[in-house]
Amino acid sequence: MPSLPTDQPVTPSRTGHFPVLEPLLIAKGVTKRFGGVAALSDGCFTLRAGEVHAIMGENGAGKSTLGKILAGVFPADSGQMLLDGKPFTPANPQASQASGVAMIFQELDLFPHLSVAENMVIANRAFDEGLLARRDRMRAFIQPHLQAVGFQGEFHQPVGELSIGDQQLIAIARALSMEARILVMDESTSALTEDAVQVLFFVIRNLKAMGVSIIYVSHKMDEIFAICDHVTVLRDGATVGDAKTSETDMARLIQLMVGREVDRSAQAVSHAIAKEVLRLEDVSSASVRDVDFSLHAGEVLGIAGLVGAGRSEIGRILFGLDPLLAGKMTLADAPYAPRSVREAKRRGVGLVPEDRKGMGLMMQMSVRENSSLSVLHSLVSAWPFSVIQTRREAEEDRLVSERTRLKSADPRAPVHHLSGGNQQKVLLGRWLQVNPDVLFLDDPTRGVDVGAKEDIYRLVEDAAEAGKGVLMVSSELPELLRCCDRILVMNHGRQVGEVDARATSQEAIMQLAAAPRPS
Amino acid sequence: MPSFLYRYKEGFILIGMMIIAAIVTRGVYLQPGNLTDILRTIAPVAIMAMGMTFVILTAGIDLSVGSILALGSVGSAALVMQVLPGMPIIVAVPIAILAALLVGGLCGAVQGALIARLDIQPFIITLAGFTGFRGLAKLVTDNRKIQLNTDGAQELAAWLSQKEVIIGILIIVCIVSYCLLRFTVFGRYVRAVGDNERASHYAGLPVRRMKLAVYSLSGMLAGLAGLLVCARNRTGDANFGIMTELEAIAMVVIGGTSLAGGRGSMSGTILGALILGTVTNVLGLNNVDSNQQSILMAVIIILAVALQKTRQSI
């Protein structure tokens, strides 16, 4: 970890004046759709010169999308943006950089095999490379910026060998070298250690003193109060409020983040019975700690928390993907410590992953082939040829497609033609065919249209009614409140609460999920 | 391009080529004797191409098949000379075939196990096999050929080199490979692993076992090809099969199977083999210079792959 030269004088802003808090970048009514999903419906935002301004909201609120539009990563569908009072419509990141707006991506866009110096100058508008890369010229160019962010490593070191914290400093230095006046930082601390976060905060304060304005996209309450002057809250794609951090508090922000009408009339009926199907006692893996709950037949247990809190990781332990490092699991009254996916499946545990394209479906295979994949070994005729009984396969697929209400044109069509909602139904259908006793659903309605969502909720209820134990990870609090009997709340890799879904509120869950890191 | 034409494009290409071939050779091409000659000539490489199809479908590659062919030919020659002389053909042939499959299968299994367990890229492991197995063949033969010079050995080799036998074996391998890929769980798993290995793992498929299986299968068929080549030449030679791995890959690729895995068919490979065989045959009949043949082959490969690109959206 680099130690910053704390005795170095803070440099005045570029123009030589002290920062004045006048509006620098204004966004009004910004909208953006991705396919059928509206990520932003009314994004509004006012950045004043020299301030550190947070954009915050739940998962999927649209904050990252707004940040990217401000940085020119992609254009908005509609709305207005003004920079220095003039219309600002960058067609691409290069155009924003030319106007002085740069983005520090969550997944840093550096080249791991190139050196620090090469990363600084590559495709950098402010550096005239000429035909040959001259070491001394590169050094002269990059030195002041690297010094400004307090990077103390070697310039020729491959960036991939640096710590994430240092890599982030390089990314910031690069943005500074392109004369950025506004930096958009997207969830910059998600991969940083505690120390590196403090270093980053120090750098941010220095940047502020240099006259750089910062847009800090985050969902981390404690950081926002620690480093930001102002905060704008987004909810379901729209700006619902903003305030100076000195004039507000966590409770008020949470109220803004989640304060939506919840339709309690659609609440699922409880099908839980007393029989326990799964029990975790003080379970820990490499990514989560102190997970402790029991799941009953017919029960739907929700898992809530912010991104990175460890929700999916519980599923990984259950499904044999991550090893159990501490604690005990009991499945159907027998000890359970799966060492592989196949063992988990054999013991009656299923997992529907959150990334259906990357981890779930075979995009070139048909609906029917995807649907039967996990039970194919049972759809064969007698030995020795293990020939697939296509009629049985088609029938099973038809039955399961009815249950998921999959309205696809042709079960023989490749899956990549289907909409997100239908693709999710195919994946769910696969696991319905397997018919496990415990089913872990990781964000099953992500990127799914409203109609398909209802179908999936009904499916969850059907599974519970059939006596399964269902665990459901979701970032949508209303969804959890509606479908679940109880809800676990994860925070920074630890289980911090277990609430009754019918007796709790979105605010209460978010309080637990967004509370500062428990010590 | 109309979807009907596109879906069976390899078939149409073959028919088109056959027509051109018939014209260019003034009908000689279509003589039954010539057509069966083509089948006999392409048989060893086509057999390997079918094993290669399984491997490529899993998004892998097997560069070692030519070397396994050499090792197979050497092993077969040694077996025929040492062990089999007294036996009647009806016993000797199955034993020779089994032995060839075993030797090849073992070579393939070693590679498959390394690929599955160590998670090293197939290109690298089979590249090692490419040099290693041929080196082993040279070591075992002390860099000399093994001639089949006893009567019994010659008789066995002659039997195995009959057109009917070779074509028969080719057809059997075609049918078995086709059915394996199209109708069985194994075939489905092969495509799934090539399409999305991670998702296959999450779906509970035995991914490691599948990889071991396809490389073993590829090796087995390469061993069998080695036996056929040995019989045809009455010799076991560590220098057999050079470049055949690339010919096999060419057949698979022309047949429409994607090197990225997950997409392709056995019928495509069979057609690819026939297309390649036709081109070589026609050029030979017209006494085209072998260097020019190579260039033409290159053009065909590029055209075949380019034609696949017209409708891909993934």
Beta carbons of A215 and A53 less than 8 angstroms apart: yes
Task: Round to whole Å and give the CA distance between B83 and B78.
Answer: 8
Characterise A140 by phi-psi region: left (phi > 0), alpha (psi -120 to 50), beta (else).
Answer: alpha
What's the confidence (pLDDT) of residue B3?
62
Residue A183 in any domain: the answer is: yes
Residues A236 and A279 occupy one common structural domain: no
Q: Which of B186, B192, B263 sits opposite A373 (nearest CB)?
A: B192
Specify the pTM. Answer: 0.82
Q: Which tokens sit at A116? A: 């620090």
Task: Round to whole Å and give the CA distance between A267 and A501.
Answer: 10
Q: Which tokens sit at A112? A: 């791991």
Residues A61 and A181 occupy one common structural domain: yes
Residue A17 in any domain: the answer is: no
Residue A25 in any domain: the answer is: no
Beta carbons of B65 and B244 less than 8 angstroms apart: yes
Give which of A387, A291, A503 is closest to B183, Cα–Cα: A387
Beta carbons of B157 and B79 less than 8 angstroms apart: no
Give which of A234, A304, A194, A266 is closest to A66, Cα–Cα: A234
Q: Which chain B residues are within 8 Å of A364, Cβ to Cβ?
A: 191, 195, 262-263, 314
Is A279's Cβ below 8 Å from some Cβ in B? no
Size of interface A-B (CB pairs under 8 A): 72
User: Of A258, A291, A317, which one is at a domain's C-terminal end?
Assistant: A258
Beta carbons of B80 and B160 less than 8 angstroms apart: no
How many C-beta atoms surround the C-beta of residue A59 within 10 A? 19
Going by C-beta distance under 8 Å and a sequence separation of 6 or more, which residues neighbour residue B2? none
Place of tokens 């700690």: A289
Task: Round to whole Å and give the CA distance between A219 and A55.
Answer: 8
Interface of B with A in 144-183 (CB under 8 A): 179, 183
User: Of A238, A258, A278, which one is at a domain's C-terminal end?
Assistant: A258
Q: Nearest C-alpha of chain B: how many angstroms from A390?
A: 9
Residues A374 and A478 occupy one common structural domain: no
What's the confidence (pLDDT) of residue A17?
43
Q: Which chain A residues are within 8 Å of B179, Cβ to Cβ?
A: 385, 387
Task: Round to whole Å and give the CA distance between A75 and A78.
Answer: 9
Task: Round to whole Å and give the CA distance between B231 and B153.
Answer: 9
Residue A409 has pLDDT above 70, yes or no: no
Average pLDDT of the residues in A404-420? 84
Task: Round to whole Å and give the CA distance between A224 and A229.
Answer: 8
Residues A212 and A325 occupy one common structural domain: no
Residue A166 in any domain: the answer is: yes
List B146's β-bridge partners, or say none. Answer: B236
Q: Which tokens sit at B160? A: 């195995």
Beta carbons of A175 and A183 less than 8 angstroms apart: yes
When the pLDDT of each residue in chain A is averaged and rounded to a whole number, the result is 88
Cα→Cα distances B60→A95, A241, B133, B196, B222, Å = 42, 54, 19, 12, 16
**Strands A469-473, A438-442: parallel, antiparallel or unpaired by DSSP?**
parallel
Which chain B residue's Cα is nearest to A376?
Answer: B185
CA dihedral A328, A329, A332, A333 (to 10 degrees): 0
Residue A324 in any domain: the answer is: yes
Beta carbons of A157 and A149 less than 8 angstroms apart: no
Task: Round to whole Å and give the CA distance between B77 and B71.
Answer: 10
Beta carbons of A489 and A310 less than 8 angstroms apart: no
Instruction: Determine whether the interchain pair A358/B196 forms a contact, defined as Cβ–Cβ distance below 8 Å.
Output: yes
Which band of pLDDT confidence, cut at 50, 70 and 90, is reported for residue A518? low
Longest pairwise C-alpha distance within chain A: 84
Q: Quickly list DSSP for B164-213.
A: HHHHHHHHHHHHHHHHHHHHBHHHHHHHHHHH-HHHHHHTT--HHHHHHH
Task: Round to whole Å and give the CA distance between B171 and B50.
Answer: 11
Cα→Cα distances A210→A14, A59, A176, A227, A229, Å = 7, 32, 11, 16, 16
Longest pairwise C-alpha distance within chain B: 60
Residue B9 in any domain: the answer is: no
Residues A275 and A203 occupy one common structural domain: no
Residues A318 and A445 occupy one common structural domain: yes
Place of tokens 């006494």: B287
Is A429's Cβ below 8 Å from some Cβ in B? no
Range of the domain at A415: 365-434
Residues A411 and A449 occupy one common structural domain: no
Residues A166 and A237 occupy one common structural domain: yes
Task: Round to whole Å and give the CA distance between B145 and A226.
Answer: 80
Is B191's Cβ below 8 Å from some Cβ in A? yes
User: Of A258, A281, A297, which one is at a domain's C-terminal end?
Assistant: A258
Task: Round to whole Å and give the CA distance between A460 and A441.
Answer: 9
Instruction: Determine whether the interchain pair A365/B186 forms a contact, defined as Cβ–Cβ distance below 8 Å.
Output: no
Residue B223 in any domain: the answer is: yes
Helix axes B185-195, B163-183, angle to 10 degrees: 70
Residues A386 and A492 occupy one common structural domain: no
CA dihedral A266, A267, A268, A274 (to 10 degrees): -170
What's the confidence (pLDDT) of residue A431?
96
Residue B295 in any domain: the answer is: no
Cα angle: B50, vertex B56, B59; to 5 degrees: 160
A394 or B294, which is more confident: A394
Which band of pLDDT confidence, cut at 50, 70 and 90, is reported for residue A519? low
Domain CATH for A210: 3.40.50.300
Range of the domain at B217: 43-256+267-275
**Strands A230-235, B146-147: parallel, antiparallel or unpaired by DSSP?**
unpaired
Beta carbons of B274 and B15 less than 8 angstroms apart: no
Residues A191 and A220 occupy one common structural domain: yes
Looking at the 3D structure of chain B, how many domains does it have?
1
Residue B204 in any domain: the answer is: yes
The helix (run of H) or strand (run of E) holding residue A48 is strand A37-48
Q: Nearest C-alpha of chain B: how many angstroms from A452?
A: 22
Task: Round to whole Å and give the CA distance between A458 and A471.
Answer: 15
Beta carbons of B150 and B158 less than 8 angstroms apart: no
The pLDDT > 90 percentage for chain A reads: 51
Give which of A108, A115, A112 is closest to A155, Cα–Cα: A115
- Give me the tens of pLDDT residue by residue for chain B, a chain 314 residues long: 456 666 677 778 788 888 888 888 888 888 888 889 999 999 999 999 999 999 999 999 999 999 999 999 999 999 888 876 677 888 889 999 999 999 999 999 999 999 999 989 999 999 999 999 999 999 999 988 988 888 888 888 999 999 999 999 999 999 999 999 999 999 999 999 999 999 999 999 999 999 999 999 999 999 999 999 999 999 999 999 999 999 999 999 999 899 999 999 999 999 999 999 988 888 888 888 878 888 888 888 888 778 776 555 43
The pLDDT > 70 percentage for chain A reads: 94
List A102's β-bridge partners, or say none. Answer: A183
Query: Residue B46 corresponds to which amino acid?
Result: A
Residues A254 and A341 occupy one common structural domain: no
Residue A45 in any domain: the answer is: no
Beta strands in B36-176 (DSSP E): 146-147
Which band of pLDDT confidence, cut at 50, 70 and 90, is reported for residue A383? low
The helix (run of H) or strand (run of E) holding residue B118 is helix B89-118
Beta carbons of A75 and A89 less than 8 angstroms apart: yes
Instruction: Determine whether the interchain pair B191/A365 forms a contact, defined as Cβ–Cβ distance below 8 Å.
Output: yes
Average pLDDT of the residues in A211-215? 92
Residue A18 has pLDDT above 50, yes or no: no
Q: Which tokens sit at B241? A: 């099969």
Is A384's Cβ below 8 Å from some Cβ in B? no
Q: Which chain A residues are within 8 Å of B262, Cβ to Cβ?
A: 362, 364-365
Residue B303 in any domain: the answer is: no
Residues A162 and A302 occupy one common structural domain: no
What's the confidence (pLDDT) of residue B225?
97
Cα angle: A410, vertex B2, B9; to 5 degrees: 95
Instruction: Determine whether the interchain pair A362/B262 forms a contact, defined as Cβ–Cβ distance below 8 Å.
Output: yes
Beta carbons of B277 and B113 less than 8 angstroms apart: no
DSSP state of A416: G
Q: What is the pLDDT of residues A458-496, one digit of tens each?
A: 999 999 999 999 999 998 888 999 999 999 999 989 999
Looking at the 3D structure of chain A, how many domains does it have?
3
**Candidate from A138-142, A514-518, B116-120, B205-209 with smallest mean pLDDT:** A514-518
Is B292's Cβ below 8 Å from some Cβ in A? no
Residue A278 has pLDDT above 90, yes or no: yes
Q: Which of B199, B206, B263 sits opposite A359 (nearest CB)?
A: B199
Task: Round to whole Å and give the CA distance between A148 and A10.
Answer: 9
Cα→Cα distances A293→A330, A474, A499, B91, Å = 11, 18, 11, 66
Give which of A7, A12, A65, A6 is closest to A41, Cα–Cα: A65
